[in-house]
Amino acid sequence: MSEAIIGRVVATERKPNTPHEFHFWTALDAPVGIGTIVRVETARPVGGLLPRIYGVVTEGFGYTDLQTPLHDVLGADGEPGASALAPTERTEIRLYTAAVLRHVPEEPLQPVPMGTVHLATEADVQVALRMDTYATGDTRRGIPVGLYRAGGTEAAIHLDADFLLGPEAAHLSISGVSGLATKTSAVEWLLASIFAHFPASKGKVAAVCFNVKGPDLCFLDQPASALSDEDRAIYATLGVPAVPFANVRYFAPWSAKGGQLATLRSNDALQENVQPLTWGLKETLQYAEVLLNRDDIDAKADALIDFIKERVVDQTFTDGVLERAHEVRSFSDLEQWFRELLRGLEARNADVWRTHHVATIRKVRNRLSNISTRCKGLVTDDGSVSDLPFKAFEDRAVYVVDVANLEEDAQDLVFARVVSQLREHLEKRQLGVEQVVVFVDELNKYAPADGPDTYVRKMLLDIAERGRYLGLVLFGAQQFRSQVHRRVVGNSGTSLYGRMDPDELATPGYQTLAPATKARLATLEKGQLMVRHPHFGQPIFVRFPRPAVLTGREGVERFPQAEELTIEQSVAKALRRLDPAITLGWVQDQLMLAGDDDDGVLRARNRTLQARPDDVKAFFKAQLKKRATPEVAGRRGPAPLRVAPPDDPYG
């Protein structure tokens, strides 16, 4: 326990102490600043016990015995340099305001008494932040978030896993200006810390990270170029291995041309754990609401879409209007179904089919059929699916879904479906892990405070409010916390703040912070965070190490993006992962023999990748042959002209 007295508590009628705030003065050279944790001791017992109060400095004042600046001007004869030559420095005070973190004992809760002020030791920090209740002992569940440093004291700051990942509270919100490596770095560091410290007794944990811009999360399995000794020391102190993530899997849709995956992690050396993310009709139609414009799709269209989802897709469908039985399993199947249905209605001169007006049918056909165009690369016409391994999530694994190169609609679709699948599998306890952290950057875009009530926003609100019971935990990052829906940030049990924009700090959400705390927030260095956590009575400033993974910027320099491939090269590269014996020449021969178009070749490739057959060459050739065979049943002649009834007076 620190015995050195660094200050004394003072209180005046104009500036009284309260149970939650007190004032103290220090020597001018005392190692105290905004964010320093201090301990107050008094010699006057209360109820037979000597109270001990812990607080964190939130404001500082310094002044001299000058009554007005004019006096200094007079004394210096108007020459600023003359003051520095004065033989005596004016009496100066350092007066600090501290917010109470904890009273020991907790009752009776009284104003902070006069007493001596000491710098908090490591043990004091544990008590002050109530970490003694969860970060020590056999049932410890502390997750290191950073290192508190002040006045020579270094203390590990732990978050309570029960309040970070549930079930007591959950979710994390991290805010900070862009470009200071705060948000992404902090999340990468915290995930590493979670993986290192999440108690095995609480089950398995995995993370799903959406890479929404650039190469931010593309190299989580690669070691950092150079960690400083200071960073390594923090890793050692906090008990987190300074190594990249051991188990990372990447998922990215195909590029629009289909030649390669739409990700900046396209270097040949890193393809081992990169998989396509492609969905067919069934997967997409389930979340059609995400992609359809609410202005276009009314209740009538909704009814038809529901009918198609329930009665048409993935089953044999027959109807008197149709010329044959249809099994709609892909967008191309659906297009054929629509085409035949409309042709049949025209042939019968019917305006309504099963209560659905022909105009509604045409509108829904138009909206649904362009989904595969709008989400090209993600949504396949042929129904081939390559998805995250729901039901087989692995402990301490990171699943990165790279949507950085997708259009906004497609990003929404990916986000909605992945999170919904996670939720469904967690509900059934079939995901493979008990806890999943979902990291979403730019949360203000997906769950904005203002704007339309989109499917994605509703889903995020649902996670924020009920996810902790399922083990579905949202780690959301945003530049401006004030622009994120208040129910999302309000349900975040833990909040991290990097350097903040002063304009953002002027918004009402930060009114509870002292001006000095805001000033510090506006000038935080890289690697510094302000932490709010349910156990901490006040925000705490911590330092965290640089993530032990390669940054996106360094990653794209070290692993340059692969050049755009020809279709033969793309197929050869993809199939070689299944069968290293496959050569570019063999692929060129097969494509020449098949004479198929590009879509057909890519379809064959996707089906092969999806099936992962033992004999890759034979399977691929069979797929090419399949496409080469004309689909007679699907080819119809032009629709006959409508014939007027014999009794039609206008015929």
Partner 1 sequence: MRDALRALRDGGLGAGARGAPLEVQPKGDQPPRLERATPLEGTSIQVRAVPGEPVVGFRAFLDGIQRSQVLAHAGGVPIVHGAVAAAIRVREARRMHTWGAPRIDQALYAPHALLEAALLETLLGRVRVVDTLRADGRSPADDPDAVPGARHPQELVARALTAVQRAREAAESALAADWVASGDGPLLVDGGTSASAEAARSAQVIGVVKSHRTLYADEAALPLLLGLREGERTTAMTLSSPRRHAVASWYLRLRDPASRSPLFGLVRVEAALVDDITSRADVVSRWLLAERAPVSLPDQRWDVMVYGIRECEQYLTAILK
Q: Which residues of the shown chain bind partner 1 in the complex (CB under 8 A)? A: 65-68, 71-72, 74-76, 82-83, 85-91
User: Which residue from 443, 493, 502 is spatially nearest to 177, judged by alpha carbons?
Assistant: 502
Q: How far is the CB of 264 from partner 1 (least distance, A)?
A: 58
CA distance 250 to 234: 29
Nearer to partner 1, 84 or 200 (CB): 84
Nearer to partner 1, 8 or 20 (CB): 8
The position carrying tokens 């009794």 is 647
Relative to beta strand 248-252, strand 398-402 is parallel
Q: Is 485 in contact with 447 (CB distance < 8 Å)?
A: yes
Q: Is 401 in contact with 211 (CB distance < 8 Å)?
A: yes
Q: How far is the CB of 82 from partner 1 (least distance, A)?
A: 6
Q: How far is the CB of 514 from partner 1 (least distance, A)?
A: 28
Residue 453 CA neighbour count, 13 Å, CB half: 3
Q: How far is the CB of 482 from partner 1 (least distance, A)?
A: 45
Nearer to partner 1, 70 or 633 (CB): 70
Q: How far is the CB of 83 from partner 1 (least distance, A)?
A: 7
Q: How far is the CB of 61 from partner 1 (least distance, A)?
A: 18
What SS3 state is found at 649?
Answer: coil
Nearer to partner 1, 6 or 582 (CB): 6
Q: 271 CB contacts (<8 Å, ≥6 apart)?
A: 573, 577
Nearer to partner 1, 50 or 93 (CB): 93
Nearer to partner 1, 75 or 108 (CB): 75
What's 96-161 look like in SS3? EEEEEEEEECCCCCCCCCCCEEEECCHHHHHHHCCHHHCCCCCCCCEEEEEEEEECCEEEEEEEEH
Q: How far is the CB of 115 from partner 1 (least distance, A)?
A: 18
Q: How far is the CB of 89 from partner 1 (least distance, A)?
A: 4
Q: How far is the CB of 400 from partner 1 (least distance, A)?
A: 59
User: Which residue from 126, 154, 115 is spatially nearest to 6, judged by alpha carbons?
Assistant: 115
Nearer to partner 1, 28 or 200 (CB): 28
Listing from the earlier edge strand, what are the strands of the sheet with 172-175?
Answer: 153-160, 142-150, 540-543, 528-532, 494-497, 172-175, 472-478, 435-440, 205-211, 398-402, 248-252, 274-276
Nearer to partner 1, 75 or 560 (CB): 75
Nearer to partner 1, 76 or 123 (CB): 76
Q: Which long-range contacts (CB under 8 A, 24 or more apart) does 129-137 make?
A: 129/101, 129/102, 129/157, 129/533, 129/535, 129/536, 129/537, 129/540, 130/102, 130/535, 130/536, 131/157, 131/158, 131/535, 133/535, 134/158, 134/160, 134/161, 134/162, 134/535, 135/160
Q: How far is the CB of 66 from partner 1 (least distance, A)?
A: 8
User: Which residue from 151, 206, 168 is spatially nearest to 35, judged by alpha carbons?
Assistant: 151
Nearer to partner 1, 72 or 302 (CB): 72
Q: CA–CA distance from 531 to each of 94, 144, 542 (Å)?
A: 26, 12, 7
